[in-house]
Amino acid sequence: MLTLVVFIIFGQGNIKHYKDKIYYIEPEKAEKIAKDNVLLFNTYIIAQKAYLLKNGGVITYDNQTIKAYSADGALSDTYKLNFQPSIIVPSPDGDFCIIGKIDRNKKTYELFKLNMKHGDLQHILTIDTKHFPGIPTATERAKNTMKDDPSFANDFYWLMVASINFQGGKIVGDNLYLWYPPKVGMSFGGVYRISLKTKKLDILIKDLGFFCGMGKKSISYIPLSDKDAAEMAHALYLKKQGKLHKSPFTYISSNTLFANGIGATIKDSVFYVFRFSMTRPMYKQIIKGKDARLLLISPSGKRIFLTYRSNGKHILSLFDVREGKLENLFETTNGQFDNLWCSFDGEGFIFTHKDTLYRGYLNDLYAPYVISSMPDTTYKDTIKVKILSYDDAFVSQGTSLFCNEKAISPDTVLVLPLSEGDNFFTFKAMDRAGNVRRVKKHVFYIPKKE
């Protein structure tokens, strides 16, 4: 049987077409801001923190209240906390959130799981004093001083509890990843992995200086190179499946982001885009403004969001690696851009400006995937083909499937006749925006001898 699987990223609301390859869902009670290269919506939703989900929904936090919104801006769930969370990490689909709470008296870090569907809050783990952020990665000097002076140990613990918190987090499968920054002269930064099933905590990185990105099986970061956690190593490292790799690209600053083999950094007002394995940049451009800062790189590595100030305005800009140009998306005379999150390829994104949530839509330039399972060799004159197709794009779904340029209907049995010897097939998936991906397959048929 032919199986078509399409993950509808924005499952609620009517999908509309703006222009070119921009498809969108209009949020409720929102102000539309239409431009040539981007479609923005001021949702008027107040949020100190905001998180974009894979299903197109948004989790917001404001005034000890967590709210869940669907893709079209409709409020679906509300949960009132009785404490100030130190960190919030939503699951990719938004079914639950991991919430952190610092107990400064006990010098512990409590982790809770908030079920967004049922509204129950469950305690899952206590990170004790020994593993509190900053303490297990103390410098050798700090550790030696604690041994010689027990009173300093108490002061050190209080300093870590008072000043160090997890900087960010991500849920991948059954694991929760949390990272925290260094304390110069006292402690290195670190990355934890916590199993949500067994509650086991592992320290993956102990020399973290600046966190740069995280893939499904990798973490990119800039380490601290000296013993006092003060000097940054001007190199990007990638830890993948337990092995550490170093990029030969040397124009690295503390403002560096990395995803899917592509990195970006801003150093001395110069914006660089580079591949991990290359010494020379792919692109290099001087930012004609002040306080230039990278905000986000899409998981695909193809879109990079940054901000800078020019002529009294704060500007939100986008660099698309495929087009090789920098273009402005939004300008304001006051306030910064916070809580920027995007879809896999960045064609859908959110940010907050002055604690107000905005949604944005860009051209969908990413083709859907095609996965087919076929034998290399067979002794039968026909084969049945199973195909999976999915699209990481936000709303430009409507994926169509083709076999040798002939349209395939979903949920039908696809039986392919074979000729003796080599047989070649091309499977194609095309989304609503016209993006196409092809997969070629070869099957060798050997007839059975009578």
Select from 56, 120, 111, 70 the least CA-distant residue to 88: 111
pLDDT the model gives residue 4:
31
Per the domain annotation, does 15 fall within a domain? no
Q: Which domain holds residue 234?
A: 81-246
Burial class from Cβ neighbours inside 10 Å (0-12, 13-18, 19+) for residue 261 reads middle
- How many beta carbons lie within 10 A of that of residue 413, not counting itself? 8
| Over residues 175-202, mean pLDDT | 96
Are 190 and 202 in contact by the 8 Å Cβ rule? The answer is no
Is residue 313 in some structural domain?
Answer: yes
What integer pLDDT is reported at residue 171 of this predicted model?
97
Contact by Cβ (8 Å): 254, 232? yes
pLDDT at position 97 is 97
> Domain check: are 328 and 303 in the same one?
yes
The CA distance from 83 to 61, in Å, is: 12
Q: 139 pLDDT exceeds 90?
A: yes
The pLDDT mean for the chain works out to 92
Residue 252 counted as domain residue: yes
Pairing assessment for the beta strands 243-246 and 256-259 based on DSSP bridges: unpaired
Q: How far is Cα 435 from Cα 399, in angstroms, rounded to an integer?
A: 9
Rg (CA), the chain: 25
Distance (Å, rounded) from C-alpha 320 to C-alpha 324? 6
Give the residue-averaged pLDDT of 422-445: 94
Query: Does residue 415 fall inside a structural domain?
Result: yes
What is the rounded distance in angstroms from the CA atom of residue 56 to the CA atom of residue 38?
A: 18
Are 218 and 211 spatial neighbours (Cβ–Cβ below 8 Å)? no
CB-based contact 180:167 (threshold 8 Å)? yes
Percent of the chain clearing pLDDT 70 (strictly above): 96
DSSP-derived pairing of the beta strands 262-267 and 256-259: antiparallel
How many whole angstroms separate alpha carbon 370 and alpha carbon 261?
22
pLDDT at residue number 40: 97
- Identify the domain boundary among 343, 363, 383: 363
pLDDT of residue 430: 92
Pair 171, 104 in one domain? yes
Question: Residue 6: its pLDDT value, please?
Answer: 31
Predicted local confidence at residue 150, as pLDDT: 84
Average pLDDT over residues 416-433: 94
Residue 450 forms part of a structural domain: no
**Region for 14 from its dihedrals, namely left if φ exceeds 0, alpha if ψ lies in -120 to 50, beta otherwise:** beta
In DSSP terms, 226 is beta-bridged to: none
Domain boundary among 363, 383, 409: 363
* Same domain for 238 and 276: no
Residue 395: its pLDDT value, please?
80
Nearest of 118, 99, 117, 119 to residue 109 by alpha carbon? 99
Q: Are strands 39-46 and 356-361 parallel, antiparallel or unpaired?
A: antiparallel
Counting Cα atoms < 13 Å in the Cβ hemisphere of 74 gives: 9
**In CATH, what number is assigned to the domain containing residue 345?**
2.130.10.10
Neighbours of 177 (CB within 10 A): 18
Which pLDDT does position 345 carry in this prediction?
95
pLDDT tens column, 274-314? 999 999 999 999 999 999 999 999 999 999 999 999 999 99
- Mean pLDDT along residues 9-22: 74
* Contacts of residue 148, Cβ cutoff 8 Å, sequence gap at least 6: none
Mean pLDDT is lowest, of 8-22, 71-85, 347-361, 365-379, for 8-22
Confidence of residue 7 (pLDDT cuts 50, 70, 90): very low
Comparing CA positions, the residue from 367, 370, 446 lying closest to residue 403 is 370
Distance CA(220)–CA(210), nearest Å, equals 9
Q: What is the pTM of this model?
A: 0.92
Q: Say whether both 380 and 398 belong to one domain.
A: yes
pLDDT of residue 13: 55
What is the DSSP track for 221-267?
Answer: EEEB-STTS--B-SS-EEEETTEEEE-S-----SSEEEETTEEEEEE
**Residue 188 to residues 141, 164, 250, 396: CA-CA distances in angstroms?**
12, 11, 22, 43
Q: Is residue 70 one of the residues assigned to a domain?
A: no
| C-alpha to C-alpha distance for 266 and 272, rounded to whole angstroms | 6
Residue 439 lies in a domain: yes
Q: Are 348 and 364 in contact (CB under 8 A)?
A: no
Residue 391 has what pLDDT?
A: 86
CATH of the domain at 134: 2.40.128
pLDDT for 62: 96
**Within a domain: 255:** yes
pLDDT, residue 9, reads 37
| CATH number where 379 lies | 2.60.40.10
Instruction: Please tell me whether residues 266 and 388 are part of one structural domain.
Output: no
Query: Quick check: 292 and 256 in contact, CB under 8 A?
Result: no
Q: Are residues 225 and 145 in the same domain?
A: yes
Total domain count, the chain: 3
